[in-house]
Amino acid sequence: MFDLLIKGGTLPDGTASDIGIRGDRIAALGRIEGAAREVIDATGDLVSPPFVDPHFHMDATLSYGTPRVNASGTLLEGIALWGELREIATVDEMVDRAVTYCDWAASMGLLAIRTHVDTTPDHLRGVEAMLEVKARVAPYIDLQLVAFPQDGLYRTKTGRENVIRALDMGVDVVGGIPHFERTMEEGTESLRDLGRIAAERGLMWDVHCDETDDPMSRHVEVMAREVTRHGLGGRAAGSHLTSMHSMDNYYVSKLLPLIAESGMTAIPNPLINITLQGRHDTYPKRRGLTRVKEMQAQGITVGWGQDCVMDPWYSLGTADMLDVAFMGLHVAQMTHPEEMARCFRMVTEDNARIMNLEGYGLKVGDKASLVVLDAGNPTEALRLRAERLAVVANGKVIARRHRNDTRLTIAGRPGTVRRRHPDR
């Protein structure tokens, strides 16, 4: 007897398989004839492990327009607006906004999120709020918190002290923002300092690194060196890395092997990078996205991040990681069938690897967390930004949606339209 049985689904690799679930674990795969307390018919539908977002700002989410709209659309104005908002936002308000966002995430099959939490203000209300959110959503969302000194580790008087306080309070990951320090030298020293902290505490390390159009912002090479020095490997991630889109090609030919050697991972955020970067350009206007395919060719694990939803930096968003991957494949020009399938893996398996998630996947013994999509394969899921027909978290069905075919009233044509289409 299974607690839950998913019948007739198609796995991302194209295999048709039933999935039998007992408790919070996958107990069986293949053709299953056993009884179950509940059965979901997924015949012809894609069954995937849950979506994963390794880069988000949950303390600011759903605050768009407060205290006012970002008129210039720039990163710096967004940071200035957030600097005002964090001083007036209460713990309860931040918790309410974040839990509401987690409702959206659960409905979209997004069941693991890494969120950066601003540690700049001495009151650390954001940290307090996000720790509360983490506890509330633990039954269905794996939430990792990053101690993020938004205004710089050294640029503010208590910047370093507050990072340590946040880690002592239970924050999971060490953050950083070297390009926002006063000088390149202080940015370099901040990376050396933060790398030591992560290594000494046995924590993961995730840095907002070179989020700028300046091709001379080269902190990622220092980060790669510190990752190698401390043996952090895949426990470290460089987020954004947008300066790489403007760097000299010869320099990049030296840089990418250094990143690959370190074992660190990379997290571009295509919706936000394409929106915020290049704002000072006339034409040609830079895309603002790092060198995704080139890093992947070096064996570097690269995932797509959401970054923002309705906050001082970005006015849109729905917690849909397929939207993120859809934008990513366009901006990175990843339109070959193999590349599009890779974009789907980037918001599932690769992001899970970046977050070092345990028990993630669709194998016997893995956590029974998955999503049933109204699509036949990963590429079709991206093309349609497919509806989530069912979301299962730790063995429990937490979200359902009826298949929403469009009705037509056109003479001589079918009565309904579904935009699914067989592969050619």
Which of 75, 54, 128 minimizes the C-alpha distance to 98?
128
> In 3-state terms, what secondary structure has residue 22?
strand
CA 42/CA 36 separation, integer angstroms: 15
Q: Which one-letter amino acid corresponds to residue 384?
A: L
Query: What residues have CB less than 8 Å from 424, skipping those under 6 apart?
Result: none
Question: Residue 342 in contact with residue 12, Cβ under 8 Å?
Answer: no
Backbone angles phi, psi at 18, to 5 degrees: -80, 155
Burial class (CB in 10 A: 0-12, 13-18, 19+), 35: exposed
Residues with catalytic function: 211
The residue behind tokens 């000088």 is: 183
Question: Residue 56 in contact with residue 347, Cβ under 8 Å?
Answer: no
Residues facing residue 197 across a β-bridge: none
E-strand stretches of 67-221 = 110-118, 142-148, 173-174, 204-209
Neighbour tally for 39: CB within 10 Å:
13
Which of 141, 65, 68 minimizes the C-alpha distance to 98?
141
> In 3-state terms, what secondary structure has residue 50?
coil
The residue behind tokens 């990752």 is: 227
Query: What residues have CB less than 8 Å from 42, skipping those under 6 apart?
Result: 6, 7, 8, 9, 10, 372, 389, 390
Backbone angles phi, psi at 210, to 5 degrees: 55, 45
The residue behind tokens 């063995």 is: 395
Question: Residue 243 in contact with residue 215, Cβ under 8 Å?
Answer: yes
CA 305/CA 379 separation, integer angstroms: 18
